[in-house]
C-alpha cells in the first residue's frame, strides 16, 4: 500500500518568516514519518530559507495571473494525485476553492482573526470555512471561526518549537532581549518608551533588539530621541539566535498583535521569563498563567515598564519564572506537535465523510 500523499500549497519558501519556518518543519517532519509530501509554491523565489527534508518534493508555479494559477494547480494535482491538500494561509481561499475541487482541502490559518479585518480577508475565511477543514494555531481563533463564520470542521494545532539547544547561561548578563521583525506590529516603539523608564531605575542593564525591517531607521531615531543610544543595542536579523537567548535574563514581547508568538516559546525553552502585553490570541494562550512571566494591559507602557523593573529587581523571581517557562515550552516540543498533525491526518484519511460534498 502506497503512503498517503500530502500536498502543502504556500506562497513561497524563500523568506525567513515564521510561516515559512513552520511549513518547512512540519512538511519535513511528516515526510520523515513516512508520508509522501510535496510543496507547491505559488511564487518562484530563491533557494528555500529554512532546511527542508530531501524527501519533500517542491513544485513552482510559472503563471502570474490568478486564473492561470488555478489551471496550473489543477494540472499539478491531476499529475501527482494528492490525498490531502493543505492550503497554507486562508488569504487565497478563492484560488483553492476552484483549483482543489475534487480533492480534500484543509486551510491552515497562520494569522490572527481578530486583527486581519479587511473585507477580503473576511471573505477568504468565510470561503475556507465552507470548504473542508480549518487548522488554527490558537483556541481563540478556533472559537472565532465557529462563531463568526459558522465553521463546523475546526481543529487547533499550535506551532512547534523548531530550534534545538536553546538555553540561558547561569551568569547574570543584565540583559533584556527582544527578537522580531522591525515593523509596527511588533511594537518596538512601545518597548523603547517603556525602556526609557526602566533605564532610569536600572542604568546598568541593557536592552538588546535582534531583527531587521522597515522601521529600523525610525526606531534608531526614537532611540536617540529618548536618550537610549548607550542603553539599547540593535542587531540585524540573525539566522542563529541561540547565542542571544543564552546571554539574556528576561525576554520582552511588545507586539500589538501576534498570530501565535513562536518567539515566546523559544524564549521559554531557553528558560527566560517574559513580559508581554495582553494582546488577543497567541501570547495569552502560550503564557497560560502568570507563572511564566508578567502580562500587562494592552498598550499600558507604564505597566510594562513596571513589570520589567519587577523582574530586573528580583533575581529569585526571574529564576523561578524561568523554570516554569522552560516547563511550559515542553508542551510545544516538535514530537508532541507532529503527533497532533499525524493523528489529525490519519483521522481525515480514515473518515473521508468529514469533508463536504465538493471534495
Q: What is the pLDDT of residue 357?
A: 43
d(C-alpha 66, C-alpha 59), whole Å: 17
Q: What is the pLDDT of residue 92?
A: 83
DSSP 137: S
pTM > 0.85: yes
Task: Write down how long the chain is.
Answer: 359
Superfamily of domain 5-160+334-354: Glycogen Phosphorylase B; (3.40.50.2000)
Where, residue-wise, is CATH 3.40.50.2000 in the chain? 5-160+334-354, 175-331
> What backbone torsions phi and psi does residue 109 show, to the nearest 5 degrees?
-75, 125
pLDDT tens, per residue, the chain with 359 residues? 689 999 999 999 888 788 999 999 999 999 999 999 999 999 877 678 889 999 999 999 987 778 888 999 999 999 999 999 999 998 888 888 888 889 999 999 998 887 766 787 788 898 888 889 999 999 999 999 999 999 999 999 999 999 999 999 999 999 999 999 999 999 999 999 999 999 999 999 999 999 999 999 999 999 999 999 999 999 999 989 999 999 999 999 999 998 889 999 999 999 999 999 998 778 888 987 669 999 999 999 999 999 999 999 999 999 999 999 999 999 999 999 999 999 999 999 998 655 654 55
- CATH tag, 175-331: 3.40.50.2000
Strands (DSSP E) contained in 36-174 are: 36-41, 57-60, 84-88, 105-108, 133-136, 154-156
> Of the candidates 134, 173, 177, 174, which has an alpha carbon nearest to the alpha carbon of residue 152?
134
Q: Is 225 exposed, middle or buried (0-12, 13-18, 19+ CB in 10 A)?
A: exposed
Amino acid at each position: 500500500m502506497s503512503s498517503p500523499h500530502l500536498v502543502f500549497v504556500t506562497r513561497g519558501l524563500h523568506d525567513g518568516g515564521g510561516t515559512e519556518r513552520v511549513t518547512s518543519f512540519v512538511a519535513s517532519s511528516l515526510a520523515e514519518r513516512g508520508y509522501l509530501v510535496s510543496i507547491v509554491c505559488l511564487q518562484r523565489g530563491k533557494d528555500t530559507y529554512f532546511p527542508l527534508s530531501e524527501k519533500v518534493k517542491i513544485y513552482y508555479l510559472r503563471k502570474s495571473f490568478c486564473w492561470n494559477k488555478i489551471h496550473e494547480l489543477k494540472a499539478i494535482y491531476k499529475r501527482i494525485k494528492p490525498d490531502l491538500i493543505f492550503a497554507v494561509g486562508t488569504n487565497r481561499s478563492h484560488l483553492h476553492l476552484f483549483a482543489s475541487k475534487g480533492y480534500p482541502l484543509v486551510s491552515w490559518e497562520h494569522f490572527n482573526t481578530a486583527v486581519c479585518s479587511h473585507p477580503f480577508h473576511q471573505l477568504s475565511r468565510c470561503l475556507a470555512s465552507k470548504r473542508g477543514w480549518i487548522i488554527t494555531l490558537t483556541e481563540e481563533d478556533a472559537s472565532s471561526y465557529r462563531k463568526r463564520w459558522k465553521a463546523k470542521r475546526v481543529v487547533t494545532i499550535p506551532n512547534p518549537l523548531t530550534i534545538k539547544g536553546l538555553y540561558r547561561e547561569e551568569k547574570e548578563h543584565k540583559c533584556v532581549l527582544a527578537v522580531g521583525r522591525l515593523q509596527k506590529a511588533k511594537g518596538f516603539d512601545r518597548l523603547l518608551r517603556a525602556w526609557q523608564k526602566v533605564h532610569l531605575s536600572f542604568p546598568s542593564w541593557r536592552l538588546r533588539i535582534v531583527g531587521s525591517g522597515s522601521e529600523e531607521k525610525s526606531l534608531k531615531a526614537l532611540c536617540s530621541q529618548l536618550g537610549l543610544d548607550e542603553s539599547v543595542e540593535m542587531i540585524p536579523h540573525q539566522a542563529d539566535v541561540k547565542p542571544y537567548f543564552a546571554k539574556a535574563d528576561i525576554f520582552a514581547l511588545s507586539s500589538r498583535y501576534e498570530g501565535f508568538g513562536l518567539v515566546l516559546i523559544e524564549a521559554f525553552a531557553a528558560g527566560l521569563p517574559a513580559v508581554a502585553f495582553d494582546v488577543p490570541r497567541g501570547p495569552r494562550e502560550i503564557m497560560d498563567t502568570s507563572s511564566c512571566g508578567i502580562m500587562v494591559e494592552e498598550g499600558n507602557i507604564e505597566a510594562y515598564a513596571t513589570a520589567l523593573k519587577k523582574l530586573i529587581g528580583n533575581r529569585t523571581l526571574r529564576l523561578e519564572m524561568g523554570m516554569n517557562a522552560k516547563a511550559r515550552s515542553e508542551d510545544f516540543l516538535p514530537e508532541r506537535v507532529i503527533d497532533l498533525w499525524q493523528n489529525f491526518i490519519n483521522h481525515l484519511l480514515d473518515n473521508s465523510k468529514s469533508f463536504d460534498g465538493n471534495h
